[in-house]
Structure 1
Amino acid sequence: MKKTRITSIRSSLAWLVAACLFPATLTAALLLAYDYQRQRAELVRDTVAHARALMHAVDREFAGAEMSLRSLSTSPSLQSRDFAAFQAQATALLHRHYANNIVLIDASGQQRINTARPYGQALPKATNMAQLERVLQNGRTDISDLFIGPVLKRPLINVAVPVYSGNAVSHSLVAVVLPEHLQKILSDYRFPSDRIATIFDASGVIVARTHEIHQFIGQPLGSDLTQRLTEVDEASLEAVSREGIPVLSVFTRSPTSRWGVAIGIPIASLTGELRHSLWLLGGLATLLLASSLGLAWVMGGRIVQSVRALRSAALSLGDGRVAAVPALEIREVDEVGQAINRASLMLTDASKALTDSEARMRGIVESATDAIVILDDSWNIVLFNFAAVTMFGCPLEEAIGTPFIRFIPERLRGDFSAQLLAPRELDLQDREAPAIEVATAMRLDGDEFAVEISFPQVLAGSSQVHTLILRDITARLRIHEALERSNLDLQQFAYVASHDLKTPLRSIGGFVQLLEKNYADKLDERAIALIRRTAAAANRLEQLTDDLLSYARVSSGSRAFTPVDCSEVFEDVLQLLDAPISASGASVTARPLPTVTGDRTQLVQLLLNLVANGIKYCDGPPVVHVSAELHEREWVFSVKDNGIGMEPKHHERVFEIFKRLHTQQEYTGTGIGLAICRRVVISHGGRIWIESAPGKGSTFRFTIPASAGESSSS
């Protein structure tokens, strides 16, 4: 058999130091690289922003020249061919703008005026005939590339606008912009000294530059940048500047003038700080590794000496002798040595501590208000606390050792035995309360009563103890039964009161109708009006009685909740409101509604009241929409209308019984409908509120808890 290699403390500490330093060093290097990439990306984004801003400034200069030229092109002197007066106007315009000179060129290419020369002096033909052709054909502003002017004999840029004679372009009016003006715009941005910023024309020719402009003006951009410009209008790439410097170049191009700006950042500036940080990190890591290994070797020796001092003490403890460990240098090892010294003394005190613990536990059990009974494997009683003695009326000495089944009525013992034998897994990680069941128990004198029994499982060594915790719920059941009887009495009273009120009301209504029908010709208008007011009051009182009955049903109803498809509830509401919907021309719609657990009749009543309110309280054709959304563990229903709305101060008041915001002459009603809605929602465990403002309609929202397994929509 191959012998397992045993590693010493010193070598383990050395490997631990190396293992700890390596990932830390690697992580630091990765963080440096990540930080470099992040800073590079941020620098590119900032540089793109600067390039865009600079390009906007160039476009702004061209646009200013265009606006000045277009204003000048409508001069009456130009229309009357008074070129002398027109040159004077153009010269005056130059004092307010940055253009070097203004030129008027006819369709043949002949310069008619040029503010760089006195009027009347012979002028040459234009050399940039391609720009003239574009202006004459397209009738649009044109910005030229850099070229040599025929008069100034130096590089310049033309901004040309068309001059119309009737509907045709007869001349081209040109503002001459010198590269020095764009060079000034570039200088005003004050780029860092190592940045190489360039303004180039539509053909990629350098017009202005922060470095060596006199050497490179009029020359094309580098080949890499020129190739990239043919593919995209904005990007970044690594290239070589005209001076031969490797740079990270960021460029952007104007979508209108097609001119562009490029900004180069030397690669050396980007990577210099990273290289310095990496060298510093390597040196620090090497120094830290060497010093840590040396310290680990020294500390390992101290630990070895202290641990070896414990060996003889441990052998003495194993032989039952008193251990004597001297003070050691390592605190943790010294603590182990002192613990060994105390171990023999603690063994003698263990039995006494166990006895005290059992006494405390018994005191807790005996002082408990619930009956606690512990059974052995044969279901015989081994512990019967004082509360159990009082509950069952059985002395302690008579209960101990007897089967607990004696306290269950004989007819129920079979079912109770099955409950006791039901398997219950013991999960020490489960912090939920043990299952509680209701059963019928019997006192020693034969009196039966209801109890709640919980079956917590307790470990005793390696086995489980069968524990019963019992609580007498006789008083609670009596209160519950009294509450149910009270609800039934209230419901019966509501029905009787409704019937007794509605019968004479119907008689009054019938008598009033007969009086109007048979004696209308014998009564004056005032009497007829009183009869009709009496009939209206009787009808309103009958409606109030019906609403009170509905309110009582919601208050005292105790029907079991069942799954209810709210889309079917909505269809029932549409049928019940068919007459008012048709009479008002209302539009009542709904999204697919969910299935919830509740009372179908009450939910129909809830939705009926809310939709009916949306139809009633509206000055124009009503529009009502019903929807529902699932939020966490509840459905939020919305009934939205386009009615008259209400002020926020009334949002709570409208849910109170008999609280109305309008007179009977304005809108009929009893003031009970929304109170019923709130009762229904509360009985379903939800809440209801309103979102409304005067003239902006109302949205009633209410919630119903969502049970596990309910469908999201019908």
Structure 2
Amino acid sequence: MSSAPAPTRHHAPGVRASLALLVIACILPVAVVTAFLIVHFYQRERAQLIDHTISRARAIIAATDRDIASTQLALQMLSTSTMLLKQDLRGFHQRATGLVDQLGADSIVLLDTDGTLLLSTRRPYGAPLARLGRAPLLQRILASGRPGVSDMFIGPLNGRPIFSVGVPVRRAGATVMTLNAIFTPQRLQHVLSEQKLPANWRASVLDTEGRVATRSRELDTYAGRQVSAALRQQLASASESGLATRSLDGQDVYLVYSRSTRTGWSAVLGIPSEELTASLYRTLAWLVSVTLAALGAGLALAWLLGGRIADSVQALVAPARAVGAGASLAIPPLHFREANELGHALRDAALSVRQARADMRESEQRLALAANAAHLGIWTRELSDSRIWCSEQWRALFGFAPEQQLSLADLLAKVHPDDRAAVRDTLNHTQHGAPRYDMEYRLLLAGGEQRWIGSHGSIEHDAQGRPLRVRGVSLDITQRKQAELEVQQKQKEVTHLARVAMLGELSGALAHELNQPLTAILSNAQAARRFLARPAPDLAEVAEILDDIVDEDKRAGDIIERLRRLFGKQDMPRQPVDAGALVDGVIRLVRNDLIHHGLTVRTELGEQALTLSADPVQLQQVLINLLMNACDAQAAPQLSDGVIVLRCARDGDAVLFSVIDHGPGIVQETLPRIFDPFFTTKTRGMGLGLSICRSIAGAHHGTLWAHNNPDGGASFHLRLPLAEAAP
């Protein structure tokens, strides 16, 4: 539904024409009267204004010197930091970062004597940095040993005009580097604003080359720009003076300046040329009585025109409010053409608002349908007062009533006790500005039902960069998590089957391993019977025989316990494992099988004790599998020297196990596939051994790989991280 066009008054004057009449009526009488007097007062008032302006320029350059001096003092104190003396650049970077805001600097940098950037607070510690070369400020500090300030230059890290305040860093009386605070032109703007200069004046601070270090107007446009050659020549000729010129933005000004004897920088103030005369008019107070009559006529006309303008504006207030409500507008005839045009614009805006609201409602409905179809719950949390809004689908996922008022405590009460602390920590991090988060956790619903939830949120910030609210979605991932658990269970069963298959391969050796202590027990028992059958048995000898029987029985028990752990279905929890003891235990398990194959294992263990955090049973399975594969590779005596090398050594922050055989090696075409499931070169192999071994290595955050040796045979390497030292 559209509003009827507002009627328009014919020949309505424009606002600009009415205001032009107002200006003429107010200014022209005053200009005519004061024209006769301006010549007499001009020279005196102009001289006074220039003298006063030079005093302001002195104050500005003095304030600039104080800022630079205070910065140099702060940098000198920072340069004596013990972290810098100890070359703890990481700690010094953190401390310098904390001082950047206090100094009002863009960044703090540490510069080597050859111009190399050692650190910059604009980059994380260790990030690549540019090389400045022999910068002028660096040269001056190295030559004089005193603090200094650079001219304006383009920063290598931010690509913007900057200047640098630097101090030497000394060791043993020599300058070994410089500590510099980098400032943007905005840093010095306060020395201009403190003078409370008129808004239309131009004020700048120039470096020794005449480049703009800061400016009161359009700083982003003119920062680092060099003034005209004529002005630079004038600046070089005298420490204080004035001249008529044109500013960088094309404004005709009378310019005065004062140069610092300390830094060589200059404070420059430009008075608009018209202000030199306008300020004089304002000083002629006695002319007020003369101009009152003329102003009265002008004000009368202004009153008439202003009233009409006010009436037109007031007539548009109600229609403007109706635009916000999306209602139809009724705009009466107005005095001015522009007001009538504004009325038509308001009418069009009302139509646009109604259409936008209709489109927004349709978009919200589509979003709700899409969320319901995907079973997504949408939520919003206000960080200022912890208010929570959520969709109906979200309430259904979490088991909340449609109208129930929600709080963060209500949400955490639904979370499974084992996941509650992690969820609380994640939500708390959002209040400290974390940009987004993704987490998975369980809900404990009524009746003991557990439901897995995937939650994804992002943070919104206000204009000052502070966290404002969190928006996100939640969805039910119970089926996926159950599928993952089933896959993990199947992996455990396959791993157990591989160990059982290994038991079949080792059965002969294990029978021999158990036969030795059992034969010794039988022999010692028979001997004890014979001793006891004597008329005067030697009880001490019988006691020794019984001790031997006990030792052999323990030995058999140890063998059975190792086999039970190795071939049990349940994996052991992670625990500290000594790498050398692990190797010794594996050698004992496969010793008789090695003897049966006519092979020996040469162990190469380092002197340093190495500890892993691992499942010892799973690591035994990996090493046994690798050793049995090495036995199969050296089954033909003519192909090897009968020696398998098992090496254990430290590799950085990890332990490296190596099993090296001297067999025919691995066919090059099959080498990339030997860790694939169900791939085997054995006639009765399952093709799961090496695949399971690599999975066990990955579960321990390690790696397993193989390669052929240059002198024949193959090597398998298992690299596992060392256990972290206890705090």
TM-score higher than 0.5:
no
TM-score for both structures, normalised by structure 1 = 0.34
TM-score (norm 2): 0.33
Kindly name which structure, 1 or 2, has the bigger radius of gyration based on alpha carbons: 1
